[in-house]
Amino acid sequence: MADSESTVVFITGASRGIGKALTETYLLQPNHTVIASVRDTSSPSALSLQSLPTAPGSRALLVKIESTNPTDLSTAIKHLLDVGTNHIDVAIANTGGTSGRKLALVETAPPEDVLDLFEITAMAPLYFYQAVLPLLLK
């Protein structure tokens, strides 16, 4: 099925947690293309997305995105256009995390940890929205 005939859902942080649950849910809807972004497309958690059950006409597309890297987003959008994705119906900015660091009290938090967290939780959704907006408007 061409993406022009399906509902296209783009989910960041799709390899685990809420993102994976959303990916599973949308794939069980008929005629859905789920663009699932992951940091590493070769990781076991990412590869498991390819074998999730799907409804008729539904499929998953994996794209590599480190959400704080706007270059990854533009590369992913170019790839989507190259494979025939001509629109996006739903964009879900689900990326989150602490960069593997333990959260500290404000009075003792290293400023670089706070900046990393801000980049992930505030800037990454902005980068995502700006990258997908042209396809959302189609």
pLDDT reading at 17 higher than 90: yes
- At 41-60, the pLDDT tens digits run 999 999 999 999 999 999 99
Average pLDDT in the chain: 91
> Is residue 1 over pLDDT 90?
no
Q: Kindly tell me the sign of the dihedral angle through the C-alpha atoms of 28, 44, 84, 71.
A: positive
Structure confidence at residue 99 as a pLDDT band (50, 70, 90)? low
Strand partners, 22: none
Full-model pTM: 0.91
The confidence band for 101, taking pLDDT boundaries of 50, 70 and 90, is low
Domains of the chain: 3-136 (3.40.50.720)
- Confidence label for 136 from pLDDT (cuts 50, 70 and 90): very high
